[in-house]
C-alpha cells in the first residue's frame, strides 16, 4: 500500500471541503483550508488518532468498512472512491445504488440548449433531468419526474408514440441495465425495476438472456410524434462518468423538415 500517496489524497480531499457545506461555521478562523481532522474523524465515526495516522502515512491498511466511511465523510465521487480503494490496495466493492441526483452544472447545460431536446438518464434509465423541448418530444409525463425509459420501452407505460429504432433501443437498454445490475447489486430500486421488466415483458426476458453489448454513441431514430408528425432525430450521448449518467442530445439536420418541426415545437414550449 503506498501510504504516502494515500495520506496525500486524504489531506487534499479534506482541504477541498467547505465547512459551511456540513453546517459548520465558515467564519471561524482556521489554520488550514477545509475541514479539521477531528471533524472528518467525527463524520467518519472513527478516532481522531486513527485518522491522523492515516494522514501522516503511519496508519495500518484501512479495511473496506473504514474506506467506505471515508468516502461518505469526504463526499468522494465514484471515481474518487475507486481511487481511494486502489491506493489502499483493496478491490473496489460495488456501489450501493445508482446516482439519481443531477449536478447543477449539468442541469444548467440543458437549459442552454433551446434548439436541442436534452435529457439526463441515470444508470437504471430513469429520466432525472430534461429541458422543455425534450418534454415536447417525449411526452408531458416527464414533468412528473417518474419516467423510466426502460419501463416505457418494454412495458409501454406512458409511451405516446412509436419509433422505428425501437428494436435497437431495446438492445441498448438491456445492455446498460446489465451493467447497472453488476455495479449496484444492492440498489433496491433497480432490483424492483428488473423484476417488473422480467415479469411484464417476454421480449425483455429474451434480450436479458442474450446478454447484448452496446456502447453509447451516435444513432438516428425516426419518431412518429402525435402533433409534429414524422421526425428524423440525431441522438448523441455524452457521459457523466462520475455519476454513471448519460446526457442524450436530440437534434435534426440543419434545414431539414424535422428541424422546422423542432423549431415549431420549441416556439410553443
User: 228 is in which domain, residue-wise?
Assistant: 104-267
**Same domain (yes/no): 155, 195:** yes
Q: Between these two residues, 115 and 215, which has the higher pLDDT value?
A: 115
- pLDDT of the residue at 38: 93
- The domain total for the chain is 2
Q: What is the mean pLDDT of residues 112-130?
A: 92
Identify whether the C-beta of residue 126 lies closer than 8 Å to the C-beta of residue 99: no
Strand order in the sheet with 117-121: 127-130, 117-121, 245-251, 229-240, 219-225
Cell numbers for 76, please give them. Answer: 468522494
**Same domain (yes/no): 82, 140:** no
- Residue 94 domain-assigned (yes or no): no
Query: In CATH, what number is assigned to the domain containing residue 63?
Result: 1.10.260.40
**Same domain (yes/no): 60, 16:** yes
pLDDT tens-digit series, residues 203-223: 999 999 998 888 777 888 888
Buried b (16+ CB within 10 A) or exposed e, 213-227: ebeeeeeebebebee
Distance, in Å, from the CA atom of 238 to the CA atom of 245, rounded to the nearest integer, reads 9
Cell numbers for 66, please give them. Answer: 473504514
Identify whether the C-beta of residue 118 lies closer than 8 Å to the C-beta of residue 128: no
Cell numbers for 146, please give them. Answer: 417518474
- Residue 150 domain-assigned (yes or no): yes
**Same domain (yes/no): 245, 141:** yes
Query: In CATH, what number is assigned to the domain containing residue 210?
Result: 3.30.450.180
- pLDDT of the residue at 261: 93
- Residue 45 domain-assigned (yes or no): yes
Give the rounded percent of residues in the chain with a pLDDT score beyond 90. 48
Amino acid at each position: 500500500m503506498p501510504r504516502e500517496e494515500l495520506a496525500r489524497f486524504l489531506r487534499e480531499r479534506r482541504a477541498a471541503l467547505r465547512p459551511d457545506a456540513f453546517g459548520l461555521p465558515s467564519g471561524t478562523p482556521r489554520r488550514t483550508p477545509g475541514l479539521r481532522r477531528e471533524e472528518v474523524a467525527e463524520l467518519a465515526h472513527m478516532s481522531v488518532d486513527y485518522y491522523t495516522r492515516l494522514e501522516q502515512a503511519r496508519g495500518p491498511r484501512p479495511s473496506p468498512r473504514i474506506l467506505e466511511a471515508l468516502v461518505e465523510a469526504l463526499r468522494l465521487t465514484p471515481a474518487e472512491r475507486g481511487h481511494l480503494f486502489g491506493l489502499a490496495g483493496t478491490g473496489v466493492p460495488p456501489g450501493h445504488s445508482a446516482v439519481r441526483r443531477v449536478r447543477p452544472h449539468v442541469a444548467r447545460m440543458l437549459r442552454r440548449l433551446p434548439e436541442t431536446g436534452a435529457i439526463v438518464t441515470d444508470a437504471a434509465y430513469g429520466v432525472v433531468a430534461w429541458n422543455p423541448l425534450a418534454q415536447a418530444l417525449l411526452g408531458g409525463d416527464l414533468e412528473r419526474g417518474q419516467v423510466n425509459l426502460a419501463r416505457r420501452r418494454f412495458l409501454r407505460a406512458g409511451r405516446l408514440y412509436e419509433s422505428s429504432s425501437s428494436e435497437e433501443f431495446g438492445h441498448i437498454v438491456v445492455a446498460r441495465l446489465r451493467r447497472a445490475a453488476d455495479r449496484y447489486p444492492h440498489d433496491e430500486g433497480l432490483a424492483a425495476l428488473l423484476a417488473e421488466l422480467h415479469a411484464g415483458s417476454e421480449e425483455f426476458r429474451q434480450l436479458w438472456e442474450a446478454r447484448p453489448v452496446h456502447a453509447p454513441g451516435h444513432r438516428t431514430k425516426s419518431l412518429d410524434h402525435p402533433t409534429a408528425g414524422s421526425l428524423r432525430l440525431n441522438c448523441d450521448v455524452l457521459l457523466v462518468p462520475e455519476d454513471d449518467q448519460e446526457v442524450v442530445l436530440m437534434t435534426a439536420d440543419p434545414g431539414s423538415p424535422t428541424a422546422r418541426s423542432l423549431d415549431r415545437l420549441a416556439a410553443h414550449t
